[in-house]
Structure 1
Amino acid sequence: MSDQAKDERAPDETALNEAANGNEAAGAETGGDYEVVVKLMKENEELKDRALRAAADMENLRRRTARELHDARSYAMANFARDMLSVSDNLRRAIDAIPAEARAAGDAGFKTLIEGVEITERAMLAALERHGVKKLSPEGEKFDPNFHQAMFEVPNPDVPANTVVQVVQPGYSIGERVLRPAMVGVAKGGPKHASADAPAEPGPVNEQAEKDA
């Protein structure tokens, strides 16, 4: 091949080489852009996950705070109410300690004093009830260890077993909590309660009341 022919083909080969180099550069650039896009998408997913977690944490915090505020409003006076029940108990003991003969034979002043103590007791219990404190007098009900404290058993075949047959001391609750369990006597030896649930065994301690104490 002549030198002239070689010279004529040289520009074509140069152009091809330049085009090939250009394609390689373009491919490298395209590959770099793809990696950047993938990286950005990954970062976006991570940010979205963080945002969802933060939103979930805030919602949990909101619910927990609302629950704590509700409990604070509902049970803020629990300790005070429990102390007032002791005062009410003392008033009742004072009233019960007066013999019937003394009531009947007492003068007007003595009878007025007794009536005043009784009125004070009723007013105190009414005030507690207005603030959510409820009296538990479960005589005739099935024994419930969440609200009652069994003090003794009474053999009675005519009454379903685990029925409260005597209330030694009434109990009190506030909201869903027990301020003081009712101290009761339960029947023993009678038929079981007609219930699908197994009857609760009476126990000497009310666990819920101890937790709230």
Structure 2
Amino acid sequence: MSAQDDPDEVPVNVVAEDAPAESAPHDAKVKDVAESAPQTAEPVDDMSEQLEAANKRALEYEEKLKHAMADFQNLERKTRSDIENGINARVDGFILDFLNIYDDFVLARQVFSESKADTGGLDSILKNMDSLFKKHHIVQIDALGNPFDPNFHEAISIVPDPGLEENTITKEIRKGYISHERVIRPTLVEISKKG
């Protein structure tokens, strides 16, 4: 019975050691693969340098991103502030015009009350105007008897008075107003001077 007839037998090819002619192509292939394989020492160093450079670039980009975000937030804050200031400036302009009308009503009430005329209608209008001011956070500046403060007052006359401290407000000529913690119209005042 031969090896071909027995299914359990595995054919084996035996090659003699002294047969270099047949093994030469195999050895050449192994040598070619070995030569074409990457050298481990140099590529690892090269990859480490590339990784380090990539990390450095990533840190630079991260820093630039942080600066860009900070610039954006500053621009956003400034834009919001500019818009609010623009709106407030327009509102303040309207309020200043409205205050001139309010002053005329106050003066009219004063004149009519001195002449003993009925001021009921004017009082009602002024009361409505005062509630409108309160609703929109517009506050009168109280100045009489207080020291002069150029942030809130504008002196238009000086009166000698040895009985008062220097720069005490002796008279309010025109009321001043504050809107949202900003002076929109200073109080026109008369101040004292010793001697």
Tell me the TM-score normalised to structure 2 length. 0.69
Question: Is 1:126 paired with 2:126?
Answer: no
Q: Which position in structure 2 is the counterpart of 1:47?
A: 61
Q: Which runs of 5+ in 1 are unaligned?
A: 1-20, 104-110, 191-213
1:87 CA displacement? 0.6
How many angstroms apart in 1 are the aligned matches of 2:105 and 2:133?
15
Secondary structure in structure 1 of the residue aligned to 2:157: strand
1:43 CA displacement? 0.9
Percent of aligned pairs with the same residue? 26
Q: Which position in structure 2 is the counterpart of 1:151?
A: 156
RMSD: 2.7
How many angstroms apart in 1 are the aligned matches of 2:164 and 2:110?
29
2:91 alignment partner AA: M
Is the CA contact (8 Å cut-off) linking 1:154 and 1:185 kept in structure 2? yes
How many angstroms apart in 1 are the aligned matches of 2:130 and 2:100?
11
Q: Which position in structure 1 is the counterpart of 2:30?
A: none
Q: Which has the higher helix share?
A: 1
How many angstroms apart in 2 are the aligned matches of 1:131 and 1:74?
12
Q: Which position in structure 2 is the counterpart of 1:29?
A: 43
Q: Which position in structure 2 is the counterpart of 1:57?
A: 71
Which aligned pairs between 1:69-148 and structure 2 lie closer than 5 A?
A: 71=85, 77-98=91-112, 100=114, 102-103=115-116, 111-112=117-118, 114-148=119-153
How many angstroms apart in 2 are the aligned matches of 1:150 and 1:188?
12
Secondary structure in structure 2 of the residue aligned to 1:144: coil
Which of the pair has more CA radius of gyration? 2
Q: Which runs of 5+ in 2 are unaligned?
A: 1-34
Question: Is 1:184 paired with 2:189?
Answer: yes
Is the CA contact (8 Å cut-off) linking 1:75 and 1:174 kept in structure 2? no
Higher relative contact order, structure no. (Cα contacts within 8 Å, ≥ 6 residues apart): 1
* Worse-superposed segment, 43-52 or 116-125: 116-125
Q: Which position in structure 2 is the counterpart of 1:160?
A: 165
Is the CA contact (8 Å cut-off) linking 1:81 and 1:128 kept in structure 2? no
| Count of paired positions | 159
Is the CA contact (8 Å cut-off) linking 1:164 and 1:185 kept in structure 2? yes
1:66 CA displacement? 4.9
Tell me the TM-score normalised to structure 1 length. 0.64
How many angstroms apart in 1 are the aligned matches of 2:113 and 2:132?
28
Q: C-alpha offsets along residues 2-34 of structure 1, whole Å, 9 cap, x if unaligned?
A: xxxxxxxxxxxxxxxxxxx9xxx6554344223
Secondary structure in structure 2 of the residue aligned to 1:97: helix
